[in-house]
Amino acid sequence: MTSKICIKCALTKHLDEYRKGRNSCKACEAATLKEWRSANKEKMEASRKVWSYVNKDSVTDHVREKKIVNESAIFSMVEYANFVVWITPNF
């Protein structure tokens, strides 16, 4: 077997077009990821902010300075609480 049918686009493609063990082709996976990213842009941004908030002691002085300059970028506790609700199932 050197080719299989993609479960997403239903085209018969060579195994090289698939990542190991996947049933959708690389092109379809890339499209799905792109879609997911744009649909979850806010969540990704929130998670990035949480990371830097939680790790604020480990961020460099350079980043900290930048944060102080850009007050609006500082992550508030309210936003953090909302994020915890989002990431915690059955919260």
Distances in whole angstroms, Cα of residue 16 to Cα of each of 3, 7, 26, 31: 8, 15, 9, 17
Q: Quick one: 25 or 46, whose CB is closer to Zn ion?
A: 25
Closest distance between Zn ion and the C-beta of residue 26, in Å? 8
Neighbours of 86 (CB within 10 A): 13
- Which residues lie near Zn ion (CB under 5 A)? 6, 8-9, 25, 28
Chain length of the chain: 91
- Which CB, 31 or 59, lies closer to Zn ion? 31
Return d(Cα 68, Cα 52) in angstroms, integer: 13
Q: Smallest distance from the beta carbon of 6 to Zn ion, in angstroms?
A: 3
Closer residue to Zn ion in complex, CB, 28/50: 28
